[in-house]
């Protein structure tokens, strides 16, 4: 079994390695290292995420503690609310909280445990995969994201965009990335 050791920063800020196994992650990692490019209906536009048409669902990254006190997460909290609904879903890192507002779904991708931590590529991968599952379940065929995990979380956009293209390849889901 393929095992990747990754690190999660715990409340006491000590590093504790945890094991994770996933065949799809293994396949992506192997293809990423060989430079294979994946194709999906993917577009990057220079515009405000909140100007996306109403037929697009919106997604962004949050921490499990749902602080959402800075950047785009703060705007989501102020504009859409729903903190108690999200807390009631008890989403762990790698999962997704879902709200329905203004006739569209909002995907809150939990990519880290605490607001002061940093996500791993694995939790981002898992959250995106969960977005794909929810999109298929609810019949969503258009999803808009900002450049996820690249602001305060300081992840490499080149890697993140390849993960997005891999996760959404061979689907009917159009992905639009909004860059400010």
For the segment 24-49, what is each residue's pLDDT rounded down to a tens digit? 777 767 776 666 666 689 999 999 99
Q: Which of 26, 41, 118, 153 is catalytic?
A: 153
Please state, in angstroms and rounded to a whole number, the distance separating the CA atoms of residues 114 and 131: 21
- pLDDT tens sequence across 7-26: 333 333 333 334 455 777 77
CB 82, CB 63: distance < 8 Å: no
Burial class of 153 by CB neighbour count within 10 A (0 to 12, 13 to 18, 19+): middle
Q: Which of 112, 113, 142, 155 is catalytic?
A: 112
Whether 153 is a known active-site residue: answer yes
Average pLDDT in the 92-117 region? 94
Whether 142 is a known active-site residue: answer no
Instruction: Categorize the per-residue pLDDT at 177 as very low, low, confident or very high, splitting at 50, 70 and 90.
Output: very high
Please state, in angstroms and rounded to a whole number, the distance separating the CA atoms of residues 92 and 130: 12
Please state, in angstroms and rounded to a whole number, the distance separating the CA atoms of residues 167 and 25: 10
Give all domains of the chain, ordered by start, each with its CATH number: 39-179 (3.40.220.10)
Please state, in angstroms and rounded to a whole number, the distance separating the CA atoms of residues 162 and 39: 9
């Amino acid at each position: 079994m393929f095992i990747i050791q990754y690190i999660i920063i715990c409340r006491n800020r000590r590093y504790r390695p945890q094991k994770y196994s996933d065949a799809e992650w293994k396949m992506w990692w192997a293809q990423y290292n060989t430079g294979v490019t994946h194709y999906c209906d993917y577009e990057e536009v220079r515009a405000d995420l909140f100007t996306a048409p109403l037929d697009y669902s919106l997604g962004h990254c949050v921490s499990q503690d749902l602080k959402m006190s800075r950047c785009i997460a703060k705007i989501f909290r102020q504009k859409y609310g729903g903190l108690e609904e999200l807390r009631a879903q008890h989403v762990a890192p790698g999962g997704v909280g879902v709200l329905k507002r203004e006739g569209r779904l909002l995907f809150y991708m939990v990519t880290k445990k605490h607001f002061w931590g940093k996500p791993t590529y694995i939790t981002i991968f898992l959250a995106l995969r969960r977005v794909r599952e929810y999109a298929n379940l609810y019949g969503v065929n258009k999803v808009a994201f900002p450049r996820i995990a690249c602001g305060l979380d300081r992840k490499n956009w080149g890697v993140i965009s390849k993960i997005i293209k891999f996760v959404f390849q061979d689907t009917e889901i159009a992905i639009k990335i909004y860059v400010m």
